[in-house]
Amino acid sequence: MAEYIPFLMFVCVCLVLMAGYPVAFSLAGTALLFALAGTLSGHFDMAFLQAVPNRLFGTMDNTTLIAVPLFVLMGVMLEKSRLSEDLLESMADLLGGFRSGLGISVVVVGALLAASTGIVGATVVTMGLMSLPTMLKRGYSPAQATGVIAATGTLGQIIPPSIALVLLGDTLSSAYQQAQLNMGIFTPKTVSIGDLFVGAIIPGFMLVLMYCLYMILFARPAPQAPQNVEAADNRLSRAMRNLLPPIILIIAVLGSILSGAATPTEAAGVGAFGATVLAALKGQLTISRLREVVQSTTEVTSMVFLILIGAAVFSLVFRGFGGEELVEQFFAGLPGGIVAATLLVMLVIFLLGFILDFIEITFVVVPIVAPVLLAMGLDPVWLGVMIAINLQTSFLTPPFGFALFYLRGVAPDTVETSDMYYGVAPFIFLQVLLLLMLSQWPQLATWLPSLIYN
């Protein structure tokens, strides 16, 4: 019975989280209670907790994680400076005369906003407030409008440079080194956040393209002429003025990483500085707005690192009870080998996405299962992209998807919840299709990193 304590510990922390307690304190509190009970019963050695100060110092000394507050600052600054609203208005004005033009505009602007923020809730709420009333007024059904907005909001999981890929890349880097050390490889290869960024480019672009094709082929709004009657060249000029700055900023951030001119942390600094300059050029950088941006950045960053500390305590106690050995034995005993193990992990992560945010899953679940899967021969970049898209699909799936909850909070009462469920169904299918394509052709995620870095 004692060997199943790690499993019981994991179930208990999920129940505590479902009860609504703060994530960081739930992780650390559950772990410490189990550690105390295990010490009293003779099943746990308190010496494992002596590694907590080293873990905390390692987090403080991790220069890669400095990218977290910088990328958060970049996203919040772009959101507060009303850049996204100008983007949507310009794109809708430019494509308003085409069937599904507004829907395509929502996808493109949502993808740019997702790449800038990387936070599902912020993107869904922002796009819902900006575009949902306009789409309903332009003849889109409630299902079509809410479906494309919710799906576009989840793109922050996969389109770089996003905070989700930063955290996932750092966790996979540690897991990859641990897997190789467990295999007796004492000069381990490394995988970086930049590798994961590059690996996510093609799948992310494919997903945006699939969304746009769906809107072109199946959305059926009534075609309308653009409401703005100014000349086409003026509309194009204004659209380019609003589109080019964020595109140049994202290219500068990604390009500096891909070219090797900057580390992800340095590129995050470039992004934060560039977003601040754009806000200043638009005349939006007031003292009150700067205070609001800094406060939001501090809140999000504090939440991330507090969860990281709680996850560190949880993982130490989990290992102290022999959790790693239990996971390895379970996977080794599965019929079907690595295929069955990967399918099971993806299913578990998909279901946990109903109750946990990507930060908790990245810090708690991935460190437990990733070393075992990587030791079985999976490519770390491919695994990271698969996890990101899997979580994206989970956040979109009724009835528990986070994106649906966020959109429900800003949608008018005339939009039924059932409309939202029907609307996201085609996009869930497209994401599952992309997962199947990646499983069949892993080169979609691994080819570009190998081409650039080799």
Residue-wise pLDDT for 217-237, tens only, equals 887 665 554 444 455 567 677
Highest mean pLDDT among 68-77, 153-162, 194-203, 274-283: 194-203
For residue 296, being part of any structural domain is answered with: yes
For residue 347, being part of any structural domain is answered with: yes
Give the rounded percent of residues in the chain with a pLDDT score beyond 90: 13
Residue 338, pLDDT > 80, answer yes
For residue 27, being part of any structural domain is answered with: no
**Range 346-370 average pLDDT:** 84
Structure tokens at 416: 């039924």
Residue 82, pLDDT > 80, answer no
Confidence of residue 120 (pLDDT cuts 50, 70, 90): low
With vertex at residue 272, the alpha carbon angle to CA 78 and CA 131, rounded to the nearest 5 degrees, is 15
Mean pLDDT is lowest, of 19-23, 69-73, 146-150, 370-374, for 19-23
Residue 184, pLDDT > 50, answer yes
* pLDDT in the model for residue 211: 93
* pLDDT in the model for residue 235: 67
With vertex at residue 417, the alpha carbon angle to CA 414 and CA 421, rounded to the nearest 5 degrees, is 130
* 402-434 tens-digit pLDDT: 788 888 877 888 888 888 899 999 999 999 999
**Range 195-215 average pLDDT:** 91
For residue 18, being part of any structural domain is answered with: no
* 154-170 tens-digit pLDDT: 887 888 877 888 888 88
* pLDDT in the model for residue 390: 92
Residue 199, pLDDT > 80, answer yes
pTM of the model: 0.83
* pLDDT in the model for residue 442: 93
Domain count, the chain: 1
* pLDDT in the model for residue 431: 94
For residue 77, being part of any structural domain is answered with: yes
In the block, residue with structure tokens 């308190």: 46
For residue 449, being part of any structural domain is answered with: yes
Q: Where does residue 225 rank: exposed (0-12), middle (13-18), buried (19+ CB within 10 A)?
A: exposed
Mean pLDDT is lowest, of 21-35, 249-263, 294-308, for 249-263
Q: Residue 449: is the preceding peptide bond cis (ω within 30°)?
A: no
Residue 98, pLDDT > 60, answer yes
* pLDDT in the model for residue 225: 46
For residue 134, being part of any structural domain is answered with: yes
* pLDDT in the model for residue 427: 93
Residue 54, pLDDT > 50, answer yes
* pLDDT in the model for residue 119: 63
* 270-292 tens-digit pLDDT: 888 988 888 888 887 888 888 98
For residue 89, being part of any structural domain is answered with: yes
* pLDDT in the model for residue 428: 93
**Range 45-71 average pLDDT:** 81
| pLDDT, mean over the chain | 82
Domain of residue 291, residue span: 51-309+325-453
